[in-house]
Amino acid sequence: MAISMTIQDRIESLGGLHDAIILSLAWSADDRRLRIVVDNVNSNTFGLPEDPGPRSATLVFSEVTHLDVNANLTVAGLMVYDLAIERKGPDTYASSLMLSPGGKLTIECQSIEIVEG
């Protein structure tokens, strides 16, 4: 029997995506979906012996009910400082995506997935 990993566990196992570079953000108003593409979900372990190598990924936040963006978009490149996900109810996640050099995305949604590759 396979043990299912929660999205919170998966993000934690990836070090909160620390140092991943955000390549794109895409909002789809029709289905209330936010897609964030990062260059490497393994950025947190870059250069360490346990680094499995680079793997791009898309974070998909579906059925978004709240989105707050506070980011300086005049800087060249945004990096993830940390991604924290909290379960607020049976059908709601609250996510806080801290950015480097500064800023934050706050997202409330019904589901979150990581699509690697």
Q: What is the pLDDT of residues 51-85, one digit of tens each?
A: 787 889 999 999 999 999 998 877 777 899 999 99
Within 8 A by CB and 6+ apart from 7, the residues are 85, 93, 112, 113, 114
Residues 6+ apart with CB under 8 A from 37: 22, 23, 24, 25, 26, 56, 57, 58, 59
Find out whether 77 and 21 touch, Cβ atoms under 8 Å: yes
Cα–Cα distance list, 32 to 52, 62, 87, 106, 108 (Å):
33, 6, 19, 14, 11
| Other CB atoms within 10 Å distance of the CB of residue 61 | 24
What's the predicted TM-score (pTM) here? 0.89
Q: What's the chain's length in residues? A: 117
pLDDT (tens digit per residue) in 22-52: 999 999 999 999 999 999 888 878 787 887 8
